[in-house]
Structure 1
């Protein structure tokens, strides 16, 4: 059995935005690289946002770029089920090989969400604290 991995705590709205953008992107036939390019960002930006193991995620500054790059009429289309609950979550997931057309395993992997758990209060507080740097 594959090892379970855990995301860093993130807000449910971030996760829903990632899922919804990926769904819209897929329906419109856009690759991660093409959407990144349409947004005017590095070619790996969308890939990093969609990867649960990466810390880089969409933020409020990206909403307008997403609306334009995905040719949406309204930002509401990014949240078709409404704005999700204001809570932090941790996503447990596994990486599994993608399947080739012939049904055999590919060298590429995809993420499969196993479950979503609420972040504990201590985790929330720790993840929201500003990191101290030597030059502060």
Structure 2
């Protein structure tokens, strides 16, 4: 049986921003490294933001850069399905091998979401502290 991992609490808007940016990037045929370069940031930056097991996430400064890179007119363009609910979530995920071009398993791993749990709490720190008990 595969091990299930759990993220720290994050706001749903953070998670959906990551998923949407990944989708915008892939539709343009850009790798994570290409988007990092277009943002003029370290080449591993986008990969860290898109990984559930890394603490790095996009912030307000990044939104301005991404808006320009993607050619968006408004920050609303990051959320084509509307602004997500104001709630905190914990994501359960498993690690599976990425596929090589020939279809065989790579040594690199992808995070696959198993379940998203809505959690109560005023702040992420409060929820994460409660989760450690």
* TM bracket (short chain): 0.7 to 0.9
Q: Which residue of 2 aligns with 1:19?
A: 19
State the TM-score, normalized to the length of structure 1.
Answer: 0.85
- 1:34 aligns with 34
Hey, what does 1:3 align to over in structure 2? 3
Counterparts of 1:26-65 in structure 2, within 5 Å, are: 26-65=26-65
Deviation at 1:59, TM superposition (A): 1.1
CA distance in 2, matches of 1:17, 1:6: 19
Cα RMSD for the two superposed structures: 2.1
Q: Matched residue pairs, number?
A: 129
Unaligned segments of structure 1, at least 5 residues = 130-136
* Structure 1 stretches of 4+ moved >6 Å: none
Instruction: Confirm or deny: 8 A CA contact 2:36 2:43 kept in the other structure.
Output: yes
**1:30 Cα deviation from its structure 2 partner:** 1.0
Alpha-carbon displacement from aligned partner over 1:91-128 (angstroms, at most 9, x marks no partner): 00011012234432121211110000012438845258
Distance, in Å, in 2 between the alignment partners of 1:97 and 1:50 is 16
| Contact 2:17/2:78, CA 8 A, preserved across alignment | yes
**Matches of 1:125 and 1:105 in 2, distance apart?**
37
After superposition, the Cα gap between the structure-2 partners of 1:128 and 1:99, relative to the gap in structure 1 and judged at 3 Å, is closer
Q: Distance in 2 between matches of 1:19 and 1:5?
A: 18
**CA offset at residue 13 of structure 1?**
0.2
What TM-score, normalized by structure 2, do the two folds share?
0.87
- Which deviates further from its counterpart, 93-102 or 41-50? 93-102
Q: 5+ residue gaps in structure 2? A: none
Once the two structures are overlaid, the 10-residue window that deviates more, 46-55 or 103-112, is: 103-112
